[in-house]
Chains A and B, each alone.
Chain A
Amino acid sequence: MEAQTLYEKLWSSHVVHQEADGTALIYIDRHLVHEVTSPQAFEGLKLAGRKPWRVSSIVATADHNTPTDHWEQGIQDPVSRQQVETLDSNIREVGALAYFPFKNERQGIVHVIGPENGATLPGMTVVCGDSHTSTHGAFACLAHGIGTSEVEHVMATQCLIQKRSKTMLVRVDGKLGKGVTAKDVALAIIGRIGTAGGTGYAIEFGGEVMRSLSMEGRMTVCNMAIEAGARMGFVAVDQITIDYLKGRPFSPRGDDWERAVAYWRTLHSDEGARFDQLVVLRGEEIQPQVTWGTSPEMVVPVGATVPDPAKENDPVRREGMERALQYMGLTPNLPVTSIKIDKVFIGSCTNSRIEDLRQAAVIARGRRKADNVRQVLVVPGSGLVKRQAEQEGLDKIFVAAGFEWREPGCSMCLAMNADRLEPGERCASTSNRNFEGRQGAGGRTHLVSPAMAAAAAIAGHFADVRDIL
């Protein structure tokens, strides 16, 4: 048999029906649901008099709108509350494999709770009305975001209409230096291929660096595949994947476990499999990264300076750079480490897992945030992450450093709740998007790793985490 890529294996095992032009019906194993992109889908289903096809595929939670403090007061914003309550009532009516509502001890960001509960398993197709569904690809899943019409489509038919993507292998060879993390790998990849570089592709992340990353790290890289334009990114199964999944609430048990593991071990690209594109990075060359603009591809190593649009030849790109610098309140050629910050956000589906919090805590331990830093939010990705961090005493380290220890949720990643930047405020953020207004109208976001975010909180400006470690 011809050597296959992991993508081809995952794709062909889910084709229900295929038309002559290649349009296919793809079966969906897991459907993650949150409050923002589902109400219109539930309503559409009801209006058409349709029933959900397989309720046990649904895992739901409320995360985008939920507050991260004063849970005893409930959700203050009436519009947010209505959206969360709409999800409550929709799930009550329709059912689900699992629902982690507001205040539940296992509630959290949808892309954190799926994996940690073993609801995301290798070989699955995983969809959610959320672009960062690519995160689940870390488990060798075909996982991608969908729009609300498709949420309704999956509910009604358990399928999606799709065409095969092209394949790209991003290989990160060698080893990462001290203080360089999965987030820096993700940003370095986007810096290399650009925010549209992956458009139309399914990206497999491979190479020694990816193999050496924990599941948390792999999730961080796959999470940001969408920022490189790819709807999905994934990593082959290995022992690290299998060890992570053993004993999780929805992971298979007993004979099923053995059977599953035997199958999962086949989920890798075969020797000699052909990709449509190959991109190679060297781990040793990746430095801690900081974005300077309003697109994740506007990124430089921490030791660099803010780029100069005068050196850009393409007029549309040059104008884009000028607009970004103006929005960000930066001048060309400024050393990145001289940029002072007002706030720090450690959280989001990119970097809110236990390993991320540990990385930030290593820097925060025994230090205090700089006086010019108004607020440092640490927002765990889920109730389970929060509990684990507290068992390890990380919360105490953060609080002693002057950081705020919050309840789980999306929080200032997109500022749909009360956590947000004020106009002009500058933030070192571990989230995934530095778009204009993303963290609050007029807010200025610099994307960094959790360790770099903590280092910036301590220094009051961007700092090379390698000087502190």
Chain B
Amino acid sequence: MQKFITLNGLVAPLDRNNVDTDAIIPKQFLKSIKRSGFGPNAFDEWRYMDRGEPGMDNSQRPLNPNFVLNQPRYQGASVLLTRANFGCGSSREHAPWALLDYGFRAIIAESFADIFFNNCFKNGVVPIVLPKAEVDALFGLVEHSPGYTIEVDLPTQLVKRPDGHAVHFDIDPFRKECLINGWDDIGLTLRHADKIKAFEERRRAEHPYYFA
């Protein structure tokens, strides 16, 4: 997993509640057996005028001029700003894969859906929950100042605006440590292999019918 320590990045706004994972990466792209290459199809149905299918040359497809991320001022954004319940719906990890491949390393929202939230951490994408008032303010600032950037400082858990205003965000300490170090969860868990074996033995003795 890619480490995440600090990020100073251009912010792109997606002013909607309940952006679901079907919207982030439509199902026809889930047929891939790879982890990468989903970026050009992130938000496919909103982003392009035609219907996307795997294997198309996306650079030749007509873009939807009304989709906010297609505006030239947001090209190269690495921070996505959005509203409540972002990432609801399907558990597809293809959603954070697509956002990461598109270039987003941090997502700021009023709230996230649980599974999506969890999946972000496994891929070095930082989901940040801020109070609604802070999110509202950021939407205003991004809209009125082209090229608006913010800094995400994970060690100090701060989102810093260029005007000096900084907001603290909460993050689970274990997840923070994994992100900062780029640790792989499986390796960490396997340090407890003896405990897992012992637990399994006890469970097998007590409830043999779960081990058919």
Please give the residue numbers on chain A whose beta carbons come within 8 Å of chain B beta carbons, in ascending order.
16-17, 19, 21, 23, 25, 27, 29-30, 36-37, 39-40, 43, 48, 50, 53-54, 56, 64-65, 77, 79-80, 82-83, 86, 97, 121, 123-124, 129-131, 133, 144-150, 152-153, 156-159, 161, 163, 195-196, 199-200, 226, 229-231, 250, 252, 256-257, 259-260, 263, 295, 316-317, 319-320, 323, 414-416, 433, 435-438, 441
- What chain A residues lie within 8 Å of B23 (beta carbons)? 435-437
Asked whether, in the complex, the Cβ of B115 is within 8 Å of the Cβ of A25, the reply is: no
Asked whether, in the complex, the Cβ of A260 is within 8 Å of the Cβ of B207, the reply is: yes
Considering the chains assembled together, what is the distance between the CA atoms of A230 and B27 in angstroms?
A: 22
Q: Which of B183-200 contact A (CB under 8 A)?
A: 185-186, 188-190, 192-193, 195-196, 199-200
Asked whether, in the complex, the Cβ of B209 is within 8 Å of the Cβ of A17, the reply is: no
- What chain B residues lie within 8 Å of A131 (beta carbons)? 89-91, 115
Pick the residue among B34, B92, B111, B209 that contacts A259 (CB under 8 A). Answer: B209
- Chain B residue with Cβ nearest A410: B27
Asked whether, in the complex, the Cβ of A40 is within 8 Å of the Cβ of B35, the reply is: yes
Q: Which of B66-99 contact A (CB under 8 A)?
A: 83-85, 88-94, 96
Closest Cβ of chain B: how far from A340's Cβ, in Å? 24
Considering the chains assembled together, what is the distance between the CA atoms of A340 and B34 in angstroms?
A: 41
Beyond A86-B33, A230-B114, 14 extra complex contacts between A and B, CB < 8 Å:
A25-B196, A37-B91, A37-B92, A79-B54, A130-B90, A131-B91, A195-B18, A196-B88, A199-B85, A260-B207, A316-B84, A319-B16, A323-B16, A437-B23
- What chain B residues lie within 8 Å of A437 (beta carbons)? 22-23, 26, 45
- What chain A residues lie within 8 Å of B189 (beta carbons)? 25, 153, 156-157, 159, 161
With contacts defined as CB atoms under 8 Å apart, how many contacts are there between chain A and chain B in the complex? Answer: 191
- What chain A residues lie within 8 Å of B113 (beta carbons)? 196, 199, 229
Closest Cβ of chain A: how far from B90's Cβ, in Å? 5
The 5 residue pairs across chains A and B that have the minimum distance between CB atoms: A252-B209, A149-B122, A147-B93, A39-B33, A147-B119
- What chain B residues lie within 8 Å of A149 (beta carbons)? 93, 119, 122-123, 185
Asked whether, in the complex, the Cβ of B199 is within 8 Å of the Cβ of A27, the reply is: yes
Q: Which of B44-60 contact A (CB under 8 A)?
A: 45, 51, 54-55
Closest Cβ of chain A: how far from B128's Cβ, in Å? 16
Pick the residue among A23, A56, A146 that contacts B172 (CB under 8 A). Answer: A23
- Chain B residue with Cβ nearest A124: B210
Asked whether, in the complex, the Cβ of B118 is within 8 Å of the Cβ of A123, the reply is: no
- What chain B residues lie within 8 Å of A435 (beta carbons)? 20, 22-23, 89
- What chain B residues lie within 8 Å of A147 (beta carbons)? 91-93, 96, 115, 118-119, 122
Asked whether, in the complex, the Cβ of B196 is within 8 Å of the Cβ of A433, the reply is: no
- What chain A residues lie within 8 Å of B63 (beta carbons)? none
Is B203 engaged at the interface, CB distance under 8 Å to the other chain?
Answer: yes
Is B15 engaged at the interface, CB distance under 8 Å to the other chain?
Answer: yes
Asked whether, in the complex, the Cβ of A320 is within 8 Å of the Cβ of B209, the reply is: no
Asked whether, in the complex, the Cβ of A256 is within 8 Å of the Cβ of B196, the reply is: no
- Chain A residue with Cβ nearest B30: A36
- What chain A residues lie within 8 Å of B115 (beta carbons)? 131, 144-147, 226, 231
Q: Which of A161, A230, A317 has the most CB of B within 10 A?
A: A161
Is B31 engaged at the interface, CB distance under 8 Å to the other chain?
Answer: yes
Asked whether, in the complex, the Cβ of B209 is within 8 Å of the Cβ of A16, the reply is: no
- What chain B residues lie within 8 Å of A158 (beta carbons)? 196, 200
Considering the chains assembled together, what is the distance between the CA atoms of A246 and B34 in angstroms?
A: 41
Considering the chains assembled together, what is the distance between the CA atoms of A30 and B28 in angstroms?
A: 28
Asked whether, in the complex, the Cβ of A229 is within 8 Å of the Cβ of B209, the reply is: no
- What chain B residues lie within 8 Å of A124 (beta carbons)? 210
Pick the residue among B33, B172, B199 that contacts A163 (CB under 8 A). Answer: B172
Asked whether, in the complex, the Cβ of A441 is within 8 Å of the Cβ of B172, the reply is: no
- What chain B residues lie within 8 Å of A161 (beta carbons)? 174, 185, 188-189
Task: Please classify how large the interface on chain B is, using the bins under 10, 10 to 19, 20 to 34, 35 or more.
Answer: 35 or more
Asked whether, in the complex, the Cβ of B114 is within 8 Å of the Cβ of A229, the reply is: yes
Asked whether, in the complex, the Cβ of B192 is within 8 Å of the Cβ of A121, the reply is: no
- Chain A residue with Cβ nearest B90: A131
Asked whether, in the complex, the Cβ of B93 is within 8 Å of the Cβ of A37, the reply is: yes
Closest Cβ of chain B: how far from A83's Cβ, in Å? 5
Considering the chains assembled together, what is the distance between the CA atoms of A65 and B17 in angstroms?
A: 29
Asked whether, in the complex, the Cβ of B45 is within 8 Å of the Cβ of A436, the reply is: yes
Asked whether, in the complex, the Cβ of A19 is within 8 Å of the Cβ of B174, the reply is: yes
- Chain A residue with Cβ nearest B54: A79
**Can you spell out 27 A-B residue pairs with CB atoms less than 8 angstroms apart?**
A25-B196, A30-B210, A36-B31, A56-B211, A64-B30, A77-B31, A79-B54, A86-B33, A130-B90, A131-B115, A147-B92, A147-B93, A147-B122, A148-B35, A149-B93, A159-B189, A161-B188, A195-B88, A196-B84, A226-B115, A229-B114, A231-B115, A260-B209, A295-B20, A316-B16, A433-B20, A436-B23
Considering the chains assembled together, what is the distance between the CA atoms of A229 and B17 in angstroms?
A: 13
Q: Which of B89, B119, B188, B209 has the most CB of A within 10 A?
A: B209
- What chain B residues lie within 8 Å of A150 (beta carbons)? 118-119, 122
Question: How would residues 146 to 175 of chain B score, 1 for a CB under 8 Å from any chain A CB and 0 otherwise?
Answer: 000000000000000000000000001110
- What chain B residues lie within 8 Å of A48 (beta carbons)? 186
Asked whether, in the complex, the Cβ of A441 is within 8 Å of the Cβ of B31, the reply is: no
Considering the chains assembled together, what is the distance between the CA atoms of A263 and B209 in angstroms?
A: 11
Question: How would residues 94 to 120 of chain B score, 1 for a CB under 8 Å from any chain A CB and 0 otherwise?
Answer: 101000000000000001111100110
Pick the residue among A37, A156, A259, A319 that contacts B190 (CB under 8 A). Answer: A156
Considering the chains assembled together, what is the distance between the CA atoms of A240 and B20 in angstroms?
A: 35
Asked whether, in the complex, the Cβ of A199 is within 8 Å of the Cβ of B111, the reply is: yes
Considering the chains assembled together, what is the distance between the CA atoms of A200 and B114 in angstroms?
A: 7
Asked whether, in the complex, the Cβ of A97 is within 8 Å of the Cβ of B89, the reply is: no
Considering the chains assembled together, what is the distance between the CA atoms of A193 and B89 in angstroms?
A: 16
Asked whether, in the complex, the Cβ of B174 is within 8 Å of the Cβ of A21, the reply is: yes
Asked whether, in the complex, the Cβ of A157 is within 8 Å of the Cβ of B16, the reply is: no
Asked whether, in the complex, the Cβ of A441 is within 8 Å of the Cβ of B211, the reply is: no
- What chain A residues lie within 8 Å of B209 (beta carbons)? 121, 252, 256-257, 259-260
Q: Which of B6-41 contact A (CB under 8 A)?
A: 15-18, 20, 22-23, 26-28, 30-35
Q: Which of A86, A196, A230, A415 has the most CB of B within 10 A?
A: A196
Considering the chains assembled together, what is the distance between the CA atoms of A54 and B210 in angstroms?
A: 12
- What chain A residues lie within 8 Å of B172 (beta carbons)? 21, 23, 163
Asked whether, in the complex, the Cβ of A252 is within 8 Å of the Cβ of B93, the reply is: no
Tell whether A438 pairs with B22 under 8 Å between CB atoms, given A148-B93, A199-B113, A433-B89.
Answer: yes
